Each structure stands twice: as C-alpha cells, then as structure tokens.
C-alpha cells in the first residue's frame, strides 16, 4: 500500500498536518492531522510498503511496545487513511 497523492507535512500547534500539493490538492482537497506515530507511518507510506514492513520498522524504532500494540496502531491508522481514500 502507498499514498495515492503527493503530500507535504508540517507541524502546526503540536500536531503534524499533511496537505496534498500540486494537482493532488484539487483531487484530495483537504488535510490530514496526526500525531508523531501517525506521521511515522504516513512517511513510510510515501513508498509502496506492506503492513508487515511498517510493523517491523516500528518495532526497531519504538521501545517498550509489543508487536500486537504496533499492529493495532498501524491497522487503525491505515484504516482511517483508506476511509479518506488516500491509499492505493
């Protein structure tokens, strides 16, 4: 899975916001607000990755979390992105 549109991300009021750019701005027409963990996953989705690849990367970079917690977080976040129709 990967992002359907091109986004730029910026930090605004302690949140990270992704906004579609260029022609994709008209196609998507909104923004995505997320925390740091969401931004980590979102940035991985700029490339075509599997859920397992995201989980493996997060387990290396995040301490004191179980694989189950990471899987739940990844699934919840990617499900929201699918609902917003931003994933291929």
On whether residue 25 sits in a domain, the answer given is yes
Q: How far apart are CA 81 and CA 2, in angstroms?
A: 10
Sole residue written with tokens 């970079």: 61
Q: Residue 29: its pLDDT value, please?
A: 84
Can you say whether residue 36 is alpha, beta or left, with left for phi > 0 and alpha for psi between -120 and 50 degrees? alpha
pLDDT at 60: 97
The tens digit of pLDDT for each residue in 47-58 reads 999 999 999 999
| Per-chain mean pLDDT for the chain | 95
Q: What gap in Å lies between CA 31 and CA 54, rounded to an integer?
A: 22
Provide the residue range defining the domain that includes 20: 7-83
| Closest alpha carbon to 39 in 62, 66, 68, 67 | 62
Residue 57 zone, left/alpha/beta (φ > 0; ψ -120 to 50; rest)? alpha
Query: What is the tally of structural domains in the chain?
Result: 1
Write out the two tokens for 79: 């499900």
Q: Is residue 30 part of a domain?
A: yes
The whole-model pTM stands at: 0.93
Residue 53 placed within a domain: yes
* Domain presence at residue 1: no
């Amino acid at each position: 899975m990967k992002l359907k549109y091109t986004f730029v991300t910026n930090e605004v009021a302690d949140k990270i916001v992704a906004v579609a750019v260029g022609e994709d701005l008209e196609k998507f027409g909104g923004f995505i607000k997320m925390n740091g963990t969401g931004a980590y996953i979102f940035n991985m989705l700029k490339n075509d990755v599997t859920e397992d690849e995201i989980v493996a990367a997060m387990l290396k970079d995040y301490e004191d979390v179980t694989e189950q917690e990471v899987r739940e977080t990844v699934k919840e976040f990617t499900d929201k992105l699918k609902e917003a129709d931003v994933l291929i």
